């Protein structure tokens, strides 16, 4: 079955190369019994991949059970997963089969697996290694033949460092990793998804389909989409139900986008601050905003100098209040202290012979995000004396991401 046929069968919309790669891995691993760990941000669509793996695999005729580990209270999760005997705890009026027993011969999908308590993780590790488990309140060892697919939106490596997730369980689950890309990395798919959702809600609520103006489309594509596909779907439904005018312009769309409604900014994550453990995507946004601000301030400085020159109010030498005022402008424009001295020729008061005066202007730095990433990686490697594990920790990214970046930029350290 081709990738496009899989998309049609499971209702997947998009043509992003990273999405196609994730689908291809799921299709290839389906015919095996290997454990799979699906990672990706909340709302990115991770739940469809276990269905692909189960449906295209040899266990397609067996049961398929999806379990949200984060939604089950810690006191009952062992009972839910492995079952319990009658009288094993208060309220256990009869024996009960757990999901691993019910799913025998099929597939079990453990969503939000990183929310699982440590004691339950030990039980799960035993199931993965030997297929054995014990019901709560029992001493009898039972066997099960289950394909395990897990998913999480948590940085597992950080959870391991904080002793919140077992490292041996991680490597057992992560036999085959699948990374689901966030919506902001699938810009070409955003408008396609929005149109599909708009058509679905128009049919559901029996009303005309909403359409976006050109400026609204631009805002839609450039927005950060913290909630990914789920957020896009919810916002499309809100607009479809609430707005009487079916042509949605940029100002109307902004009312439904968090942060844009209050700040009119296309970079909401910058206002929240960088989250701990974030990858380069959030830093890229922050750097872009900072350097855009620096560029705007440089333009403002040039405008001020031009006005002073035109008015002829600049004295022969920069002394006193004039010097302090202009130096203040320069320091605000160039907080990093990167300056160069240039000579500007300006008329003396009364339009007499010109006088040369030295002015410090900021050096325009490269605005390339790639250059900034290379600089940060080199600094981190220097600081950690070439130890990549420590460098990755310093940068707040995984070792895998660091290795990828080093190879991508051909960094020799």
Fold match, 3-181 / 368-413: no
Please give the model's pTM, rounded to 2 decimal places: 0.63
Rounded average pLDDT over 102-115: 96
What's residue 142's pLDDT? 96
In 103-166, alpha helices (H): 118-130, 156-161
CATH topology for 368-413 is Arc Repressor Mutant, subunit A (1.10.10)
Q: What is the CATH number of domain 184-269?
A: 1.10.8.60
Domain ranges of the chain: 3-181, 184-269, 284-362, 368-413
pLDDT class for 295, splitting at 50, 70, 90?
A: low
Asked if CATH classification 3.40.50.300 holds for the domain at 3-181, the reply, yes or no, is yes
> Is the pLDDT at 406 greater than 70, yes or no?
yes
Rounded average pLDDT over 364-380: 74
Sign of dihedral through CA atoms 379, 336, 370, 342? negative
What's residue 145's pLDDT? 96
Phi, psi angle pair for 364, to nearest 5°: -70, 120
What's residue 394's pLDDT? 82
pLDDT class for 72, splitting at 50, 70, 90?
A: very high
> Is the pLDDT at 87 greater than 50, yes or no?
yes
**In angstroms, what CA-CA distances link 364 with 40, 327, 329, 334?**
37, 17, 15, 9
Beta-bridge partners for 356: 345
In the predicted model, what is the mean pLDDT of the chain? 82
CA distance 84 to 352: 99
Q: Which of 192-196, 316-320, 346-350, 404-408 has the highest mean pLDDT?
A: 192-196
What does 149-186 look like in DSSP terms, one character per residue? EEEESS-HHHHHHTTSS-HHHHHHHTTEEEEPPPGGG-
pLDDT class for 403, splitting at 50, 70, 90?
A: confident
């Amino acid at each position: 079955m081709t990738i496009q046929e899989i998309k049609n069968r499971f209702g997947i919309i998009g043509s992003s190369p990273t999405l196609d790669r994730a689908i291809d891995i799921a299709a290839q691993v389906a015919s095996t019994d290997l454990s799979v760990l699906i990672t990706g941000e909340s709302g990115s669509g991770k739940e469809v991949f276990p269905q692909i793996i189960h449906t295209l695999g040899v266990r397609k005729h067996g049961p398929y059970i999806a379990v949200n580990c984060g939604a089950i209270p810690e006191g009952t999760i062992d009972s839910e997963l492995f079952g319990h005997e009658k009288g094993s705890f208060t309220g256990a009026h009869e024996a009960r089969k757990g999901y691993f027993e019910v799913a025998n011969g099929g597939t079990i999908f453990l969503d939000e697996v990183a929310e699982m308590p440590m004691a339950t993780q030990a039980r799960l590790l035993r199931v993965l290694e030997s297929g054995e488990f014990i019901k709560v309140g029992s001493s009898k060892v039972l066997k099960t033949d289950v394909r395990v697919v897990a998913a999480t939106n948590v940085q597992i490596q950080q959870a391991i460092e904080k002793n919140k997730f077992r490292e041996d369980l991680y490597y057992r689950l992560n036999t085959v990793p699948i990374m689901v890309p966030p919506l902001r990395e699938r810009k070409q798919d955003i408008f396609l998804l929005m149109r599909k959702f708009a058509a679905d809600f128009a049919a559901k609520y029996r009303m005309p389909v909403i359409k976006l103006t050109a400026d609204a489309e631009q805002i839609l594509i450039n927005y950060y989409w913290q909630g990914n596909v789920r957020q896009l779907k919810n916002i499309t439904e809100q607009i479809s139900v609430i707005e009487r005018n079916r042509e949605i312009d940029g100002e109307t769309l902004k009312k439904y986008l968090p942060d844009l409604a209050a700040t009119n900014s296309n970079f909401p994550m910058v206002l929240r601050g960088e989250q701990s453990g974030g990858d380069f995507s959030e830093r890229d946004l922050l750097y872009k905003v900072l350097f855009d601000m620096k560029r705007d301030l440089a333009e403002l400085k040039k405008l001020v100098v031009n006005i002073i020159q035109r008015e002829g109010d600049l004295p022969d030498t920069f002394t006193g209040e004039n010097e302090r005022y202009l130096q203040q402008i320069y320091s605000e424009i160039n907080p990093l202290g990167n300056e160069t001295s240039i000579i500007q020729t300006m008329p003396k008061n009364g339009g007499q012979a010109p006088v040369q005066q030295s002015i410090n202007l900021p050096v325009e730095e490269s605005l390339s995000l790639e250059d900034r990433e290379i600089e940060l990686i080199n600094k981190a490697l220097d600081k950690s004396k070439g130890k990549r594990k420590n460098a990755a920790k310093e940068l707040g990214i995984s070792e895998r991401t660091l290795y990828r970046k080093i190879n991508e930029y051909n960094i020799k350290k």
